[in-house]
Structures are given as C-alpha cells and as structure tokens.
Amino acid sequence: MKNEEIARYLATHPEFFDQFPHLLTDVRVAHPFDGRAISIAERQILNLRDKVSLLENKLGELIQFGEENDVIALKMHHIALATMLARDITTLIHACYMNLHEDFGIPHAHIQLWATDNGQISDAVKAWVNNMPHPQCGAYLHEEALSWLGDTSHLRSYSAIPLKHNDAIGVLILASEDAQRFYPQMGTIYLQRLGELIATGIQRMT
C-alpha cells in the first residue's frame, strides 16, 4: 500500500484505533522539534497545544483591537459632542482642531470650506475632493491643498478627508511629521466618519 492509501484508509475508518488502541501508545513517531520518538497520543497533545497557542494569540489580538476601537470611539464621541454644542461654524471648527490635537495627537489640521473660500479655491481641487471615494492618506497631497498648511518642509504624511454626504462642502487636511502616521494602506473608516460628522455639523448651521 502507498502512503496515501494508508492515510486515506485511516481517515475513512476512525474505528481502526478503537480496535487497536494499543497502537496509540506503541507506535512511535518523531517529535516535531527535537526528533526523539514519541507516541501518537503525545504527538496529538503537542498538536493541540500548538492550536491552543495560536488561538490564544488570535484572541489576544482581537481583544487588543477591541480596546483600541473603544478608545477611538470615545474620542469620536468627544468630537460629536463638540459639534453638537457649537453655536456657529467658527466655534465648531475651533472645537474640532482642539479635539484632533488633544485627543488624537494630530499636530496639524486645516478645514477648508467652499462657502467661505471667496472664490480662491480652484475647480480642480473641488473636483479632486468631490471624487474621493474615501479619505486619501500618504506622503503626497494636492499642491494647492498643501499651500494651506504654510511651511510643510517638516511634514511627512497627510490625510485628505472630504467633508460631504453627497457633494463635498469642503475638505479636512491632517498632517504629521511622522511618515507612518498616515499611509496609503491604513484603514479610513473612522476618518470617513469624522468627515461626515463635521460636514453634518456645518450643514446644520448653513
């Protein structure tokens, strides 16, 4: 019999070891790490320990992600309250800047609204923002948007967040000296919700 045939037979006849239980301890197989001979039962225990270890690591990761999401959700709640309490757009924008800096540790933020641009924002920038399917993150930013931040020689990463539900009413630009703070592959669901939250607050006042 070939090895494959033996394996297939044992897989389809689980009662085999019920008929020959002594084989579980008598048959010796190689230890997966040090090469010494151990019983099939011992090898199975080692396999189960490996699986348990992997599951524990996975559970630890899920718990960590859950805790991190709880922290982010609390920070988003703070901004939501700030936008609800604001009585005018200027106060709302100032509250957003303060929360982004103090809660999220984002050193540079700029909100640009089309309604208050006095015709200085180009149609190209508006189209760029309006066509974003989701916030854009990375080491590069539209040249015109970059000019809103002043001196950018020390900045290494950016996020452009459209302020919109349907059509954009503006854009939120975030910037950092840390090149890894905003990167192309990062998740943007919270950034998108942040943009929608600010846009809703502004639209409520206009």
Each domain of the chain, given as residue ranges in start order, spans: 1-85, 89-204
| C-beta separation of 106 from 98 below 8 A | no
The angle, 0 to 180 degrees and rounded to 10, between the axes of the packed helices 189-204 and 40-85 is 20
CA–centroid distance for 98 within its chain: 23
> What is the per-residue pLDDT for 24?
67
pLDDT band of residue 32 (cuts 50, 70, 90) is: low
Distances from the Cα of 24 to the Cα of 27, 40, 43, 47, 51, angstroms: 6, 5, 10, 15, 20
pLDDT at 118 exceeding the cut of 80: no
Q: Name which residue leads in pLDDT, 98 or 8.
A: 98
What is the tens place of the pLDDT at every residue in 56-101? 889 988 888 888 888 888 999 999 999 889 999 999 999 999 999 9
CATH classification code of 89-204:
3.30.450.40
Nearest Cα to 85, choosing from 3, 189, 205?
Answer: 205
Within a 10 A sphere around the Cβ of 180, how many other Cβ atoms? Answer: 9
Q: Name which residue leads in pLDDT, 73 or 206.
A: 73
What is the tens place of the pLDDT at every residue in 140-179? 999 999 999 999 999 999 999 999 877 789 999 999 999 9
